[in-house]
Amino acid sequence: MRSTRMVSSVLLLVLMQSGALCARRFRGGRNPQPRRAPPSPTHRADRGDTTESFPLDFTAVEENMDNFMTQVKNLAQSLYPCSAQKLDYDMKLNFLKNTSVTCNDGSPAGYYLKESRGSRRWLIFLEGGWYCFNKENCDSRYETMRRFMSSSKWPQTKTGTGILSPLPEENPHWWNANMVFIPYCSSDVWSGATAKTEQNFYAFMGSLIIQEVVKDLLNKGLDNAKVLLLAGSSAGGTGVLLNVDAVAELLEGLGHTGIQVRGLSDSGWFLDNKQYQCTDCGDTAACAPTETIKRGFKYWGAVVPERCRQTHEGEEWNCFFGYRVFPSIKSPVFVVQWLFDEAQLTVDNIQLTGQPVQEGQWRYIQNLGTELRNTLKDVPAMFAPACLSHELITRNYWIDVQVKGTSLPRALHCWDRSLQDNRNNKAPPKACPVHLIDSCPWPHCNPTCPTIRDQFTGQEMNVFQFLMHMGFDVQKMAQQQGMDPSKLLGMLSSGS
């Protein structure tokens, strides 16, 4: 009897401590989530996974208290997802089993993984980081940005941020998913399928890396997934558009027809527009978007979606531009795109630092926003703030930016619900928007845009200071908008 009372007391104490730990973690979060119930014993048995079953041997209590306490802690861990072991939030490095699929320099490709037992949702993130399109600028990239071409110095762990964060206050709807981060080491916008040989000094195997990661993950629980979200930023965002259907087809071909594959493309919706000033195609940043991709497409041995390839036969490089490839994509895709994307402006030879911009540049910037809006109007699920920035979903401020009063995490949650309701033949949820695009005409006219700092003083600038810094002519702009200059200044100052 005394042993039983002691067991009960110890068990209650440990569980209370675990519960307190959870409470501390959730306290103060923006959108606290209810704790998920652990998977049922039947579910665990189906997967042959016995690591979450913790029988207690009460006969060993008095003889071996340390062993008993270990068992109690294991039980508490199975009941509370944020207990001791779950405090290890880092994703851990894994190299591909197929060693023939490599980074540019022939070093092994791989991925970072943080499993979330009991969750059937998987998020696979493709890193961005520009590209190179000939031996000269690939050599330069290897000297200055080697981590984007080699795995030789990758750290053993990586901490997720934004939509990869395991914290519900930073990641309200995806915090408990299985997180996978694939480092970008192929320099080919995740499109290549060319091995390193004596003739090819560099390997370009981005599309194959994605395929091999998915195959490896099937042995780590992906086989039991309900939803797989293929996400990416910048070059990774374009990589999502190029690969999301291929991932769906791969899983279907391997017999995993129950996994719903979706895409989330962040800052990868580039335009093949005319540069503000044409320059020689000497380096990646100065080269016109179309010329870069034309050269890269051949150099990488790139693979594009079959339906898009057929549409643009002979000019398959067109499939790297979002508005051209999107109509051919069968999988659901959510597009996140700043209307005034810094990377787009860079390749268009618009520099927004240093001297105030000229009137022609200012007009070009406004036209860019208009062009982007036009290409996005038929995208059913999207989030497009009128901000000057690049990349969003892995930034720690991603929950703060809003379009028409809706944050990106909220919009993604609405999208998720609408897809589920569509599968179940239900009406889409009301007051849950998924098509969000700013209508104001200039950079940072949205008051929730990320902070801009003066590059010389380091001080934060509000939208009015920023526009003045860019050479904004209040009198002329007020005249164009048909309003009094003082009213326009008031609107800018208040962030309207």
Based on the residue annotation, tell me whether 245 is a catalytic residue of this protein. Answer: no
Q: Give residues with Cβ within 8 angstroms of 401, minimum separation 6.
A: 385, 387, 392, 407, 408, 446, 448, 449, 450
d(CA 303, CA 179): 26
Active-site option among 341, 348, 416, 438: 341
d(CA 318, CA 121): 32
What the block records as the tokens of 113 is: 């993984």
Distances (CA, A) of 87 to 66, 77, 380, 406: 22, 10, 38, 31
d(CA 235, CA 186): 11
Q: Which residue has the tokens 């580039």?
A: 270
Based on the residue annotation, tell me whether 234 is a catalytic residue of this protein. Answer: yes
Based on the residue annotation, tell me whether 413 is a catalytic residue of this protein. Answer: no
Active-site option among 390, 413, 435, 444: 390
β partners of residue 461: 452
d(CA 449, CA 108): 39
Active site residues: 234, 341, 390
